[in-house]
Amino acid sequence: MSAAQAVDLVTAGPPLVTAVGAVALLLGGVLLPRGGRWALPGASVTVLAAALGCVSWQAWGTGASRSTFCLRGGACSYVAGDLALVLQGAMLLGSVVVVLLAAHTVEDSRLPGPEFFFLLLTSVTGALTLAAAGDLVTLLVALELVSLPAYGLIALRREDGRATEAALTFFLVSVVSATVTLYGISLVYGVTGSLHFEGVRAALAASSSHPLVASVGVVLTVAGFAFKVAAVPFHFWAPDVYVGAPLPVAAYLSVVSKAAGLVGLVLVLVEAFRPYADVWGPLLAVLAAVTMTVGNLVALRQRQAVRLLAWSSVAQSGYMLAPLGAAATAAGRDASLGRAVGATVVYLVVYVAMNLGAFSVVAAVGRHRPRNLVEDYRGLARSAPLAAAALALALACLAGLPPGLSGLFAKVVVFRAAVEGHVGWLAVVMAVNVVIGLSYYLAWAVVLFAAVPTPGSLDDGSVDGAVGVVRPLAAPAGVAAAVLVTAGATVALSVAPEIVFQVLPGVAAGVP
């Protein structure tokens, strides 16, 4: 087989657009006027919109190629299938919200704007590439391209000791996870002699028994990705990193970066390691159960908003992993894995909207109440009724309660995957965890509409005069736009759930 590759740069348009845009922002940042606060965020949104246009053209355009960097034998390193395009679109939209949140944070915290948006777009480039990866090397390089710029984003707030500690923690975790993943991939390559997903799957399927070396390689690769999605016991970095990072960066790590890690895990398991589903299936089912349980139990004790969302994010990872573990563990897994991928993708898309919605309101409140304790949200419905309504809706979605119908339907889809996979114990664990999650989500929602605290109880003195008189909570234009966009997306997914609950499972079911 010839090593010469057919290259179509138009097909790889989305990551190329963000990569070129990142370099242009870095180089052009020194030329922008200092008073143009929206120049860099506006340029970043333009770049992301252009990449989204490329995704849309490939999804609905005629004659659009879907693969490139292909060997003459047919194996390709970049494959923009329907599933990849859907996930790229979701990550791009999530990145737009992160840019809106970051617009004023960069200015208020005196962060270097060109470097910040360069690193952000570079990380997005890795996420877009990862969604369309067709071989193990591309997958690993793209995963590191997501992680390393994120380390820089966390560390940009140099005068903050917590940010430095969080950056070092994230860097060390990234190095360890990359090492574990690379070692696992090397073992798989040694057994199969191939790096492309198709070749790996064919070689693994050709063996009548599972060689121990290949099984160890599969397990190590799963463990490496478990670091990225903050699955227990590889979750320990997430809470401290989320709290120490600038809030828009925490939102990015919680949503876009996690989505990239989950996408990579889905690809490598379903596309490459499917013949070894009886090896990674039970492992993934146990990881899902332990992850959602630990995340929810620890979240019960949290009183700081960002730390609570961090542990909630850990628990949400468990729900997203559950369908894959259930389908791979059950009999007839080849027929059910496609539906399991659909359930995971549905939950992921809904999670992007509802979790970014919560982070957007937390960003608005955090500007006025620096402690950002859950108690600081008491009476928010009186000082900022729209923000309180948006946060209440996001919390209802995360809990799976009306009026957050999109979150409710997403949990139903995940439950159905476990039940159809005949993994009853996992469905029971999920049901118990939903009840546990209700405790802290509802407790936070109740605080929003509770009585206003006494004067002087908040750090910023936001209570004036007598009890019950609260100054309006002003939010910058970018943060307000992020709240409106995420709330609108959550409402749309709740009113018209067929957007994801009919289209996406069909797309994912086409995974070979």
Averaged pLDDT for residues 467-486: 71
| 6 pLDDT higher than 80 | no
C-alpha angle 239/245/249, rounded to 5°?
Answer: 105
pLDDT score for 333: 55
CB contact at 8 A, 493 and 357: no
- Residue 83 CB partners (closer than 8 Å, separation 6+): 341, 345, 507, 508, 510, 511
Averaged pLDDT for residues 104-128: 87
pLDDT score for 462: 45
260 token code pair: 């990239």
DSSP label at 376?
Answer: G
| 313 pLDDT higher than 90 | yes
C-alpha angle 300/306/307, rounded to 5°?
Answer: 45
Question: Rounded to an integer, what distance in angstroms lies between the CA atom of residue 228 and that of residue 223?
Answer: 9
pLDDT score for 501: 67
Question: What angle separates helix 82-108 from helix 333-366, to the nearest 10 degrees?
Answer: 20
Winning range, highest mean pLDDT, from 9-18, 464-473, 496-505: 9-18
Averaged pLDDT for residues 316-338: 75
pLDDT band at residue 334 using 50, 70 and 90 as cut-offs: low
| 86 pLDDT higher than 90 | no
Quick: pLDDT tens for 154-165.
988 877 778 888
pLDDT score for 20: 93
Averaged pLDDT for residues 316-325: 90
DSSP-assigned beta bridge partners for residue 6: 70
| 461 pLDDT higher than 50 | no
Averaged pLDDT for residues 292-297: 94
pLDDT band at residue 474 using 50, 70 and 90 as cut-offs: low
pLDDT band at residue 380 using 50, 70 and 90 as cut-offs: confident
pLDDT band at residue 271 using 50, 70 and 90 as cut-offs: confident
Ramachandran sector of residue 439 (left: φ over 0; alpha: ψ -120 to 50; beta: rest): alpha
Of 60 and 117, the one with more pLDDT: 117
Quick: pLDDT tens for 388-400.
999 999 999 999 8
H helices within 32-160, ranges in order?
39-60, 82-108, 113-131, 136-155
Averaged pLDDT for residues 157-182: 86
320 token code pair: 């997203």
Helix (H) or strand (E) holding 67: strand 67-71
pLDDT band at residue 330 using 50, 70 and 90 as cut-offs: low
pLDDT score for 81: 81
| 499 pLDDT higher than 80 | no
| 450 pLDDT higher than 70 | yes
Averaged pLDDT for residues 299-323: 92
pLDDT score for 253: 92
pLDDT score for 127: 93
pLDDT band at residue 464 using 50, 70 and 90 as cut-offs: very low
pLDDT score for 453: 56
| 463 pLDDT higher than 70 | no
pLDDT score for 23: 92
pLDDT score for 1: 45
pTM above 0.85, yes or no: yes
pLDDT band at residue 470 using 50, 70 and 90 as cut-offs: very low
* Cis peptide preceding 233, ω within 30 of 0: yes
Measured CA distances, 117 to 62, 103, 220 (Å): 33, 10, 33
Quick: pLDDT tens for 359-371.
999 988 887 777 8
pLDDT score for 119: 93
Task: Round the average pLDDT of the chain to a whole number and report it.
Answer: 83
Question: Rounded to an integer, what distance in angstroms lies between the CA atom of residue 430 and that of residue 433?
Answer: 5
Lowest-confidence segment of 3-12, 131-140, 182-191, 266-275 by average pLDDT: 3-12
Of 296 and 343, the one with more pLDDT: 296
Neighbour count for residue 73 (Cβ, 10 Å): 10
Of 377 and 30, the one with more pLDDT: 377
166 token code pair: 């969080």
pLDDT band at residue 468 using 50, 70 and 90 as cut-offs: very low
Nearest Cα to 441, choosing from 489, 377, 348?
377
